[in-house]
Amino acid sequence: MELSGKIIQQLPEVGGNSRNGNAWRKQEYVLETPGQYPKKVCVAIWGDKIEQFSLKVGENVTLGVDVESREYNGRWYTEVKAYKVDRTGSTPTSTTNTLPEVDTFYSDSEEDKLPF
């Protein structure tokens, strides 16, 4: 699944140790989608990908994401994890309005001239 938009906020990095004693860390960003009704989505980046992606506030990106929900004590929690960042496809493409080529006809003849 892909999400495109602008990074509008960077949340503080968090980290800790898992039950197995492995260190973990996570950086979250808020992405705002374009459109008439923009949506804000909090996206998490885990581990070494934090430096690899090095997202900046104000940057337009397309993110490859996985959405996962899990249950804890009878409540469900959903997380959106980014696994890929594409900066090239995220910039708005310039659309030039090209009109179809029209054959122009010009004549000096009086019969071809319009009366107005």
- Averaged pLDDT, 87-93: 55
Task: Please give the pLDDT value at position 26.
Answer: 95
**Other Cβ atoms within 10 Å of 63 Cβ, number:** 25
Nearest to 63 by CA among 28, 11, 14: 28
In a domain, 36, yes or no: yes
The total number of structural domains in the chain stands at: 1
Whether the per-residue pLDDT at 98 is higher than 60: the answer is: no
In a domain, 98, yes or no: no
Whether the per-residue pLDDT at 59 is higher than 80: the answer is: yes
In a domain, 52, yes or no: yes
In a domain, 60, yes or no: yes
In which domain, by residue range, is 64 found? 2-91
- Averaged pLDDT, 27-45: 95
Whether the per-residue pLDDT at 51 is higher than 90: the answer is: yes
Q: What is the CATH number of the domain that holds 57?
A: 2.40.50.140
pLDDT one-digit tens code per residue, 64-78: 999 999 999 999 999
In a domain, 30, yes or no: yes
The residue among 98 and 11 whose pLDDT is bigger is 11
In a domain, 32, yes or no: yes
β-strand 14-17 against 23-32: which pairing, if any? antiparallel
Find the angle CA(8)-CA(62)-CA(71) to the nearest 5 degrees: 80
Whether the per-residue pLDDT at 90 is higher than 50: the answer is: no
Task: Please give the pLDDT value at position 57.
Answer: 94
- Averaged pLDDT, 93-112: 50
Arithmetic mean of pLDDT over the chain: 83
In a domain, 9, yes or no: yes
In a domain, 17, yes or no: yes
